[in-house]
Structure 1
Amino acid sequence: MNELQIESIHCDRLTITGRLDWTRQRNSAGDWQNYSHVLAKLFNPIESHIVRYPNMDNGLYSDNFTIPIQEQGSSIFIQVNKQYSSSQRDFRADFNPAKLTKKEAEWLAKILGRIKEKRATRIDMAANIHHNLKAYKLTDGRQRSSVEFKDRYGNIETLYRGSKNSDNYLKLYDKKKERASKYREVEHDWWRIEETIKDAKANTWNTYPWFNGIILATNKPIFPKEVDGKKVTVSQECEALCIMNDLRTMEEFSVNHRTRLRKIITAVTYEGGLNLQEEIKKAPYQQMLEDALKEINYFLMNAPTDQGRANF
């Protein structure tokens, strides 16, 4: 049996934007004014658990406040623009669904249920592995930048694949060490692979191919003998290997040759290790991913009932 196994999969961060629930109502003087039930609740002094920072200005969102939750180091962070707009996206919520209690999740769902035109703008999906991955190499069959952070012995502690400014990137890191620095040390090894999708790509979260092409391996890559019925030459293997190790770029080759090299890299296999894309197709890992997607759906798609609105 493969010693590398996925322990759990969950959504580790979810950012949702939208428009506040503006309506027209008369004030105490009988004059018409713009009114938002969400703003009224968030700035209601009775909501004593809300910590507000009204003087923090970051441009679009003129008012910022934090709703802390019970677990240490975690919070729901909401940003709003109190100035009425008929078209501007003036609401943003950023939180970790996995750390919310049932009560906190229900509270946030009621808020989100009144937000119009909701959409996800960032999703972090995490796969946890209770195994020491310092000696493993992460590949995803794509040519993109890599940044490594190592300990004093030269062992990898954190690896980024892809730019953090792009709409998709990967992060592999030692969760055990990170947790020890913040809370308390866990006894078992604990590494995490996070895939982040943002902007338009995040809006396709329910059909997105999570962890596509990601492989963890220690051994050398095994190149296919043939691709599209044509023999893979030693020269092509060397070129593909250089690209996989960021020693050369695809732009150095002709368009047709790039296509062939991409197909060769995609067909590469490893003896041992873990192919996340294939592993997640199996039960119970597929169920873990489906449960994480249901959680995202709960905050994005579900609206409170009429009774819930009445008790808002």
Structure 2
Amino acid sequence: MYLKSDIEKWFERFDSEKKPYIFDVSIDRLTLLGYWNYNGAENFARLLGKINHDIRITKGNGTRIPAGFIFYDKCYFEIIDNLKYKDARPFRLDFNPNKLNEKEVQFLKKKILPLLSGVSASRIDLAFDIELNLEEYQFIEDNNPKKRMYIRGRGLELQTLNIGSEESDYRVTIYNKLLERKAKMNNNPLEVSREERVLLETKKSWWRVEFKLKGQAATVEKNFNAFSENNVFRGLKIYKANYKAADDIRTRAMMFYLINHENEWGNLTWESKKKYKEYFEALSEYDLVDYLKDCYLSKRDKLEAQYMDYILSDSSKNRQAR
């Protein structure tokens, strides 16, 4: 079977008339941790009293370790008991930047984050929205295959795939966003934004690929950048192979079996995995991840700047800026 060279594949990325449409890349979730600056805990307690319509305490009210929501349910916060967890940064803030309006973003940057020092992320989710049906695609990992969980519909069509465990520092979630948002609109219409309603009306397909980076994988510092291409994609490949074009019936049968029994990849020898990965690549029009990378690299600086804008709002950075 003829295998394309790297230069042939590179040129095809720009010549293909069937180039997939990736219409959005965004930070879909941020979890920030920080230390109290000076009398930050007391300042935050006073802030709670003054702006109670924006901040809702759900537990620990009147104690030194409250938890609750800011802007109704858009941002979750909690104060960690640093007497019990001495090495922990005591303030945690969890939110989706896409859900905040400009006024709310400025409130976080001017009222909340300046009460803290040493702010950095413990989680960053990067989301790619694609006008493409990914039901029949193969999701192949080059290195260290991870635990997988498939959620399928009544007709066994793929709805959600999780690659990696919830506890790991790196997880990929692929799911039918159109289906998820339509279900949300039927059950809780107020939770679907105006922009999402437009997409539901205009898109025939809308799938999302999310890269969930936690712990070390979410670190941004001199020696490691969570936003680096290698950290985000980590050898993932996404193919839609025409297995019927394989040379012999045995190969076609094996590829068909792997397409319909993805977990069987784990039972192949190293040589067999390599062989069938090459078949999937050779019989696929493209690797979708190549296009995800192209789109990501064109927007990475903007995404990293958005993240750094939150981080640079903490008190220690503010003092350095002066």
Name the TM-score, length of structure 2 as normaliser: 0.69
RMSD: 3.6
> After the TM superposition, which residues 65-144 of structure 1 pair with which residues of structure 2 at under 5 Å, given as runs?
65-68=68-71, 75-81=74-80, 88-110=88-110, 111-142=112-143, 143-144=145-146
How many residue pairs end up in the alignment? 266
The answer to which of 158-167 and 202-211 deviates more is: 202-211
| Residue aligning to 1:227 | none
> After the TM superposition, which residues 1-312 of structure 1 pair with which residues of structure 2 at under 5 Å, given as runs?
1-23=17-39, 36-41=42-47, 43-55=48-60, 62-68=65-71, 75-81=74-80, 88-110=88-110, 111-142=112-143, 143-183=145-185, 186-187=200-201, 188=203, 189-203=205-219, 204-207=225-228, 209=230, 210-219=232-241, 245-247=262-264, 249=266, 269-270=281-282, 271-276=284-289, 278-282=290-294, 285-303=296-314
* CA positional deviation for 1:213: 2.8
Going by fraction, where is helix more abundant, 1 or 2? Answer: 2
CA contact (8 A) 1:9 1:289 kept: no
SS of the residue corresponding to residue 269 of structure 1 reads helix
Which string of whole-angstrom CA distances, capped at 9 and with x for unpartnered residues, describes residues 216-257 of structure 1? 222068xxxxxxxxxxxx9xx99xx89x9442648x97xxx7
* CA positional deviation for 1:139: 2.2
* CA positional deviation for 1:166: 0.8
Structure 1 pair 208/273, CA: closer, same or farther in 2 (3 Å)? closer
Extract structure 1 runs of 4+ deviating beyond 3 A. 54-57, 81-88, 260-268, 302-307
* CA positional deviation for 1:99: 1.5
Q: Which runs of 5+ in 1 are unaligned?
A: 24-33, 222-233, 308-312
CA contact (8 A) 1:51 1:66 kept: yes
Q: Which runs of 5+ in 2 are unaligned?
A: 1-16, 190-196, 220-224, 244-250
Which string of whole-angstrom CA distances, capped at 9 and with x for unpartnered residues, describes residues 28-84 of structure 1? xxxxxx86423332x223442211123489xxx931110135xxxx61111114777
Letter in 2 for 1:103: K
Separation (CA, whole Å) in 1 of partners of 2:285 and 2:38: 56
| Residue aligning to 1:230 | none
SS of the residue corresponding to residue 28 of structure 2 reads strand
Name the TM-score, length of structure 1 as normaliser: 0.71
* CA positional deviation for 1:96: 0.3
Which string of whole-angstrom CA distances, capped at 9 and with x for unpartnered residues, describes residues 16-38 of structure 1? 11111234xxxxxxxxxx86423
Letter in 2 for 1:64: A
Separation (CA, whole Å) in 1 of partners of 2:29 and 2:207: 17
- Aligned residues with identical type, % of pairs: 22
Separation (CA, whole Å) in 2 of partners of 1:51 and 1:118: 22
Separation (CA, whole Å) in 2 of partners of 1:35 and 1:51: 16
* CA positional deviation for 1:154: 0.8
* CA positional deviation for 1:299: 1.0
The answer to which of 105-114 and 265-274 deviates more is: 265-274
Letter in 1 for 2:93: A
Separation (CA, whole Å) in 2 of partners of 1:263 and 1:298: 46
Separation (CA, whole Å) in 2 of partners of 1:213 and 1:267: 17
CA contact (8 A) 2:164 2:170 kept: yes
CA contact (8 A) 2:281 2:287 kept: no
CA contact (8 A) 2:80 2:91 kept: yes
Separation (CA, whole Å) in 1 of partners of 2:153 and 2:280: 29
CA contact (8 A) 1:2 1:273 kept: no
